[in-house]
Amino acid sequence: MTHSCHIDFTQPLTAGATRLRHRFEAPREVLVAHALHEVSSVLDAVFAAAQQGRWCVGHVRYEAASAFDAALQTHAADGPLVWFAVYDAPQPGTDDAADAAAAATPAQVVWDDSPEREAFDAALAQIQQAIAAGELYQVNYTAPFRGTLQGSPQALFAALLRAQPGGYAAYLQAGDEQVLSVSPELFFDWLDAPEGGTLLARPMKGTAPRGATPEQDAQQAEHLRTAPKERAENVMIVDLLRNDMSRIALPHSVQVPALFATQALPTVWQMTSDVTARTRPGTTLTEVFAALFPCGSVTGAPKVRAMQMIRALEPAPRGVYCGAVGVVRPGGAAGPDGLHPVAATFNVPIRTVVLRGVGTGAGSGADASPVVAEATCGIGSGITSGAEAGAEWAEWHHKRAFVERASAPFEVLETLGLHHGKFVHADQHVRRMGEAAAHFGFAFNAHAVRQELQIAALQHRDGDWRVRLLLAADGSARAEAFALQTTAVPVRLQLAPRPFAAAHSEFVRYKTTRRAHYAAFAPTTPGVFDTVLWNEAGEITEGTFGNIAALIDGRWVTPPLSCGLLPGVGRAVALQDGHVVEAVLRVADIPRVQGWAFINSLRGWLDATLDA
C-alpha cells in the first residue's frame, strides 16, 4: 500500500502568510492508533519524530476526543483514530505536472439526496428545546451525504482545489482511505520554542451566501458582520477557544486580536476570529490536542453537553470530518541537544471528501472502467436559539455547493454570432469568459482565446454561424461553429410550471456546459421557442438560453441580476442603449404585461408572445 500525501497550507504565523506546499512519497514508517489508549502515545511519537527533523502528515478522527477526556462522548470510530505517515523530507520540487495531469483527467461523483428535510427539522427542534431549557448555548449539527466516484481521486482533488482555493488543503493516501480536504478553517498553528510557544486558532463560525452582483455581495458580507445571531454564534465559540487555550497558555497570554472578520470563499462568506496564546515551555503536541480537540466550532458550547447531544442526534461517527488534518514538522534549526523546535499546522476538516473502496470497475487492464469508490462528505452548521430551520437548511445547501461544483467536469461556455466572418460583441464575450474563469479557478489567456475565435472566423467567412467558445480548466480553448438558422418572429414563450430552484446558483450567474438545470425546463411543446423561468419568490428571471424583457406600465423592463439570472451580453447591450431598464417582474404581474421579448447576443432582440 502506497502512502502518498500532498499538503497545500497557508502558514498564518509566517511573515506574509506564505504557503506550505509539498508532496511526500515512501514514508519511513506509519504511526496508527486504533484504540483510545493508543492515541496519546502515537501523538507523542509524531512530536518526537518532528523534533528529530522529520515530517509527519496525517489526521486525527473526531472520535479520538474521548482519549483526551472521557466526558467527550462520540460514537465508536469507523477507522483509525490517529494516522500519520512519517517522512524524512518532502519530495524535491513541486508536483505541478502531476496537478496538470490530474486536472485533465475526468472525475465524477454522483451524490445522493440525504439528509432528509423532515429529519433535519426534527433535530433542530430537539436542539432548540435543549437550548431553551438552559442545557447549552449552541450545537454544531451535521450530517453526511454519500456518493460514488468514477475517475481518479487525484482528479477529484484537483477539482476540489479549484472549487475551494487557498486555505488548508491536504490529500492523504491513508491506508484504505483517501482523505481529500480543502478546508478553509484553521484549527491551530503552533510553533514551539524553549521559552514558550506561539499558538493561533482561527475558528470559523457564521455563514452567508455570496451575492449575485458586487453590490449584493457587499451587502451579504455586511449583514454577516453585523447580524446579532451570527456575531453571537461566533463569540460563543471564541469564548470556548479562549477557555481551552488557557489550559496550556502562559498566564494572561490568551488574546483575541481579530474578531468578526469576514472571509470571501467562492460560494459563501464566512466569519472568523483569531485567538492567540503563548504556550508554556515544555508543552507537547498531545497536550495541545488534549486542550483543544475537537475544535469548538464543530461541537458547540459547552463542549461536553454539545457533544453528548451530537452523539444522540447524529446516527453515525463523523470520522475524519470535524477531526483534524495536518502536518507536524521541524520548526527551525536543531538546538544544542540535537532536537528541533516543532511546528504544527492543522485544519478543521470541513469541506472534506473521504473515499473508501477505491478500485477499478468492470474489466481489467486496458479494458477496465474508471476507478470507483464510495465517497462521503459532511455538512453542518451551528444551531443557536435564533436559528430558523429554513435558513439553516439553505446554509447547508450553500456549503454543499463547493463539492457539487467539483463533482463533474465542465467547461466555461460563450455562444457568439458570426456573420460573414465577423463576430458580434466578441470583446464582451471574451471579458465575460475571463470573469467566469476567475470565479471557477480556471486558467485563462485572453490572447489564446481570441486566436481561437480568429481561426473560426477565417474558416467561416460566408454565412451566419453559431459559435460555441469553450474553455477547459487548464486554460485550453476551442471554438465550434454550427450553421445558424433564421428565427421567425414573434417567438412563442411558455411559463415554467414550477419555480427554478437553481436561480441563485453559480451555474446560473456564469455560463458553462453544466446545464441540466436549464434542460429540465426546456420546452417540449411543438412551436414553443423557450421557457420563462421564475424563482421561489415568484420573480421572473430569464429563459433557458436567453434573457427576457417585458413591456409593462409603458416601459420595457428586464429582471435585475439579484433575481437570479445570467448577465447576458445581449441584455447588457440593451441596457446600455436604453432599450430596457432593470425592474423586478413577478409572475403575478403577467396579466399587466403588454408585450414580451427574448434577448441574447446570438439572435438579438426577438419579439415574443407568452402562452396563457
- Other CB atoms within a 10 A radius of the CB of residue 322 amount to 25
Please answer whether residues 80 and 175 qualify as being in contact, where contact means their C-beta atoms are separated by less than 8 angstroms. Answer: yes
Amino acid identity of residue 550, one-letter, is A
β pairing state of 477-483 and 464-471: antiparallel
Residue of 57, 37, 62 lying closest to 46 (CA atoms): 57
Please check whether residues 177 and 300 belong to one and the same domain. yes
Residue of 611, 361, 574 lying closest to 495 (CA atoms): 611
Q: What is the CATH number of the domain that holds 424?
A: 3.30.470.10
- Reported as a single tens digit per residue, the pLDDT across 590-611 is 999 999 999 999 999 999 999 9
* Polymer length in residues for the chain: 612
Please check whether residues 99 and 157 belong to one and the same domain. yes
Please check whether residues 151 and 296 belong to one and the same domain. yes
Q: What is the CATH number of the domain that holds 543?
A: 3.20.10.10
Place of cell 454519500: 146
| Number of domains, the chain | 3
Catalytic residue among 63, 177, 185, 411: 185
The pTM (predicted TM-score) of the whole model is 0.88
Three-state secondary structure call for residue 467: strand
Please check whether residues 187 and 168 belong to one and the same domain. yes
Residue of 419, 400, 358, 448 lying closest to 152 (CA atoms): 358
- Of 372, 388, 406, the position where a domain reaches its end is 406
Please check whether residues 138 and 243 belong to one and the same domain. yes
Instruction: Annotate 107-156 with DSSP letters as a single string.
Output: EEEEE--PSPHHHHHHHHHHHHHHHHTTS-SEEEEEEEEEEEEEE-HHHH
- Of 406, 434, 469, the position where a domain reaches its end is 406
Please check whether residues 283 and 418 belong to one and the same domain. no
Please check whether residues 422 and 393 belong to one and the same domain. no
Provide the residue range defining the domain that includes 532: 491-610
- Of 423, 458, 483, the position where a domain reaches its end is 483
CA dist 544 and 517 (Å) reads 9
β pairing state of 55-60 and 300-301: unpaired
* 422 included as an active-site residue: no
What pLDDT score does 104 carry? 55
Catalytic residue among 205, 303, 399, 511: 205
Q: What is the CATH number of the domain that holds 269?
A: 3.60.120.10
CA dist 135 and 114 (Å) reads 29
**Cβ neighbourhood burial of 492 (10 Å; 0-12, 13-18, 19+):** middle
Q: Which helix (H) or strand (E) holds 8?
A: strand 5-10
Please check whether residues 357 and 455 belong to one and the same domain. no
Q: Give the start-end residues of each E strand in 302-370.
A: 324-330, 342-347, 352-360
Reported as half-sphere exposure (CB side, CA atoms, 13 A), residue 116 has a value of 3
Three-state secondary structure call for residue 526: coil
Residues of the chain short of pLDDT 70, as ranges, are 1-3, 14-17, 93-105, 359-370
Please check whether residues 366 and 478 belong to one and the same domain. no
CA dist 208 and 327 (Å) reads 30
Please check whether residues 14 and 88 belong to one and the same domain. yes
Please check whether residues 444 and 563 belong to one and the same domain. no
Place of cell 440525504: 114
CA dist 467 and 444 (Å) reads 19
Residue 393 in grid coordinates: 437548511
CA dist 465 and 485 (Å) reads 8
* 222 included as an active-site residue: no
Q: Which helix (H) or strand (E) holds 231?
A: helix 228-246
CA dist 546 and 600 (Å) reads 5
Please check whether residues 372 and 433 belong to one and the same domain. no
Residue of 1, 2, 7 lying closest to 56 (CA atoms): 7
Positive or negative, the CA dihedral 575, 578, 580, 584 is positive
